[in-house]
Copies of this chain bind each other. A is one copy, B any other.
Amino acid sequence: MFQARARAEVLKEVVNVVSTLVDEAKFTMNSDGLTLRAVDPAHIAMVDLTLGKDAFDEFKADESEIGIDIDKLSQFLKLSRGDNIVDMKHDEDKRRLKIVVGDITRHMSLIDTTGMSDPKVPNLDLPASVTVRSEDLMQGIKASETISDHIALVASPEAFEMSCEGDMDQVHWKKAKKDLPALKAQGSVRSLFPLEYFSNMLKSVSSGSEVTMHLGSDYPVRMEFKIADGKGEVRYLLAPRIESND
């Protein structure tokens, strides 16, 4: 059983976060809220999303799971303004989700979840962490996009840096510790990431938010941020590209 009511903007945040990596996703519900874990088709990135029941105006659920075509849900939410109220109800017999916003009702067929994996979140020991405003991250990404397909994230006790090297040109975005919301690093760490993934993941972060990144050297980055006015949480993992020593 799953029946819930929420502001459209909360659901839009969820859709933005998930659609970055997958077209279809399995939502797992229980009486406390819902969770979602998914790995992108290329197995380079993972999302681990939790949305507590207090992120909803109403929320009732047994332990259950539903498979949603994220694109269809996104289409439907585009019909609504952010402050519209969306009602959802799982029709187990017909394997459909009934969604209502204003005068519009959509009966949306669900996806069979039996074949969908349950990815495990790896336990990573990442020695450095830095908190950056989403606007600042986007500026560093935009500067990098004209240079290369990869971006290096570098944290040291003094500063955090995004840098990008092309055949001819280089771009560096750098902020000192005092200009960052938070920075913790013993030594210096550096990892290289595929820029398109990194960019798409961060585009799903609402403007005005802060993102905390946990980093190591040649290790995945774990990006954490809040959604739904702090009542939901997202963790993205992105695999590094190991730089060869040739």
Task: List A residues at the B interface (Cβ < 8 Å).
Answer: 72, 75-76, 78-79, 102-109, 136, 139-140, 142-143, 146, 168-175
Contacts and interface: CB of A to CB of B under 8 A. Distances in A.
A244 B99 CA distance: 29
18 contacts: A79-B139, A79-B143, A103-B140, A104-B140, A104-B143, A104-B171, A104-B172, A104-B173, A105-B171, A105-B172, A105-B173, A105-B174, A106-B143, A106-B171, A106-B172, A107-B170, A108-B169, A109-B168
Contacts of A107: 169-171
Contact of A169 (B103, B106, B169): B106
A217 B198 CA distance: 54
A76, A169, A172 pick with most chain B CB within 10 angstroms? A169
Contact of A79 (B78, B79, B142): B142
Contacts of A143: 76, 79, 104, 106
Nearest to A100: B172
B170 A103 contact: no
Nearest to A147: B106
A136 B172 CA distance: 43
Given A103-B136, A105-B174, 8 more contacts: A78-B142, A103-B140, A103-B173, A104-B140, A105-B172, A105-B173, A106-B172, A107-B170
A170 B106 contact: yes
Contact of A103 (B102, B108, B109, B174): B174
8 shortest interchain CB distances as A-B pairs: A109-B168, A107-B170, A75-B146, A105-B172, A104-B143, A106-B171, A104-B173, A103-B173
Contacts of A173: 103-105
A207 to B, nearest CB: 15
Contacts of A102: 139
B146 A72 contact: yes
B103 A139 contact: yes
A169 B104 contact: no
Contacts of A103: 136, 139-140, 173-175
